[in-house]
């Protein structure tokens, strides 16, 4: 009889522990974690920006006071606490070179369910030749689409890549070139880190080579200002751009940089002094 009572007691205790754990998990907030790509030279410290948001809200709210960890090769190399808007800037030093995938994850939290996210840290020598790629030029053009929107096109998950675009970029990056991808926020109230994550997911799903993603604010001067910033930071081997729109090509041409325009089949619009490729298989001979 005593044995039966003890067994019943132990069963009740296990049920209570399990119920408590499940109740605690149910009380926690599901979160969304966003991480921004970064470009840096070897030997410099890397600053990775991340943001933790409450998931499922119409207007996502930042979750402050939470510890995030930056993981490289399975080890935590930096930690930081999110501010009131959910942002944190994680600083670390890497000896690796190339496009390094890094993970940011939420530490043990009493308020938020576990969540993680990935981003690319490009660690490149300044002498490496860089090509800027307009994300819109990687996508099939739609009939009647306004090419003036160019890099401000909102990314759609179902959007298909242009034929041969991924294969040709893989060939370009295999031995020589480095690539950065350029997109623009669809509106001033859009979140830069969210667009960064969407573009990265789309590129990976369609087998494009990895590279840092530059997300611009809306406005005619944003891309030109970013080019100037890159050049001033020492990235003087940014010499070529591949794109489709005037908004992308003009700032490059104004700075005497080369441009290859993927001719828009709906308008045939090209700029003087820009090289032209009707399809991605023609791009390499124009570089």
pLDDT for position 199 = 92
Last residue within a domain, chosen from 123, 154, 174? 123
pLDDT for position 145 = 52
In a shared domain, residues 135 and 274: yes
* Contact between residue 172 and residue 129 where contact means Cβ atoms under 8 Å apart: no
In a shared domain, residues 140 and 256: yes
- DSSP codes of every residue in 137-203: GGBPPPTT--GGGGGGPPP-TTPPBPTTHHHHHHHHHHHT-EEEEEEE-SSTTS-HHHHHHHHHHHH
- Tokens for 103, please give them: 């993970």
Q: What sign does the CA torsion over 41, 209, 271, 140 have?
A: negative
Q: Report the alpha-carbon distance of residue 86 to residue 79 in Å, rounded.
A: 14
β partners of residue 101: 120
Last residue within a domain, chosen from 83, 101, 123? 123
In a shared domain, residues 164 and 272: yes
Strands 213-216 and 31-35 come out as unpaired
Residue 45: helix, strand or coil by DSSP? strand
In a shared domain, residues 135 and 119: no
In a shared domain, residues 54 and 75: yes
In a shared domain, residues 118 and 138: no
Q: Report the alpha-carbon distance of residue 252 to residue 246 in Å, rounded.
A: 10
* Contact between residue 248 and residue 240 where contact means Cβ atoms under 8 Å apart: no
CATH number of the domain residue 61 falls in:
2.60.40.10
pLDDT for position 267 = 56
Residue 258: helix, strand or coil by DSSP? strand
pTM of the model: 0.84
β partners of residue 75: 72
137: CB partners within 8 A, 6+ apart: 162, 165, 242, 243, 244, 245, 248, 262
* Contact between residue 50 and residue 69 where contact means Cβ atoms under 8 Å apart: no
β partners of residue 280: none
Residue 11: helix, strand or coil by DSSP? helix
What string of pLDDT tens digits covers the 287 residues of the chain? 444 434 444 444 433 334 333 344 558 889 999 999 999 999 899 999 999 998 865 567 889 999 999 998 888 999 999 999 999 999 998 888 999 999 999 988 999 999 999 999 999 999 999 999 999 899 987 655 544 444 444 455 567 899 999 999 999 999 889 999 999 888 777 888 988 999 999 999 999 999 999 999 888 899 999 999 999 999 999 989 999 888 999 999 999 999 999 875 555 566 778 899 989 999 999 98
In a shared domain, residues 52 and 95: yes
Residue 181 lies in a domain: yes
133: CB partners within 8 A, 6+ apart: 169, 179, 180, 181, 182, 211, 241, 242, 243
Residue 2 lies in a domain: no
CATH number of the domain residue 168 falls in:
3.40.50.1000
pLDDT for position 74 = 86
Residue 167 lies in a domain: yes
In a shared domain, residues 73 and 106: yes
Write the burial class of residue 164 (CB in 10 Å: 0-12 exposed, 13-18 middle, 19+ buried): middle
Query: What's the structural domain count of the chain?
Result: 2
pLDDT for position 95 = 83
DSSP percent split of the chain into helix, strand, coil, nearest 5: 30, 30, 40
121: CB partners within 8 A, 6+ apart: 37, 38, 40, 46, 48, 94, 99, 100, 101, 102, 212
**Phi, psi at residue 130, to the nearest 5°?**
-120, 135
Last residue within a domain, chosen from 79, 107, 123? 123
In a shared domain, residues 253 and 144: yes
Residue 276: helix, strand or coil by DSSP? strand
Residue 39 lies in a domain: yes
């Amino acid at each position: 009889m005593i044995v039966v009572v003890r067994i019943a007691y132990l069963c009740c205790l296990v049920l209570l522990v399990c119920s408590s754990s499940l109740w605690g998990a149910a009380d926690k907030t599901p979160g969304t974690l966003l991480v921004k790509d970064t470009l840096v030279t070897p030997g410099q410290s890397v600053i990775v920006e991340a943001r933790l948001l409450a998931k499922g809200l119409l207007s996502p709210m930042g979750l402050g006071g939470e510890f995030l960890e930056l993981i490289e090769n399975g080890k935590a190399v930096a930690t930081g606490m999110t501010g009131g808007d959910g942002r944190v800037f994680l600083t670390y030093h890497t000896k690796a070179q190339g496009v390094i995938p890094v993970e940011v994850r939420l530490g043990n939290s009493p308020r938020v369910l576990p969540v993680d996210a990935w981003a690319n840290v490009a660690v490149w020598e300044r002498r490496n030749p860089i090509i800027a790629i307009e994300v819109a030029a990687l996508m099939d053009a739609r009939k009647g689409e306004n090419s003036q929107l160019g890099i401000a096109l909102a990314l759609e998950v179902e959007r298909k890549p242009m034929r041969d675009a991924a294969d040709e970029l893989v060939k370009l990056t295999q031995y020589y070139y480095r690539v950065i991808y350029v997109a623009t926020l669809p509106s001033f109230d859009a979140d830069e880190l969210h667009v960064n994550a969407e573009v990265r997911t789309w590129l990976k799903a369609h087998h494009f080579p990895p590279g840092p993603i530059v997300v611009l604010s809306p406005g005619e001067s944003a891309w030109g200002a970013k080019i100037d910033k890159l050049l001033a930071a020492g990235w003087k081997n940014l010499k070529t751009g591949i794109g489709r729109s005037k908004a992308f090509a003009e700032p490059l041409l104004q700075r005497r940089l080369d441009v290859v325009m993927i001719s828009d089949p709906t308008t045939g619009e090209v700029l003087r002094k820009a090289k032209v490729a009707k399809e991605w298989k023609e791009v390499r001979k124009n570089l």
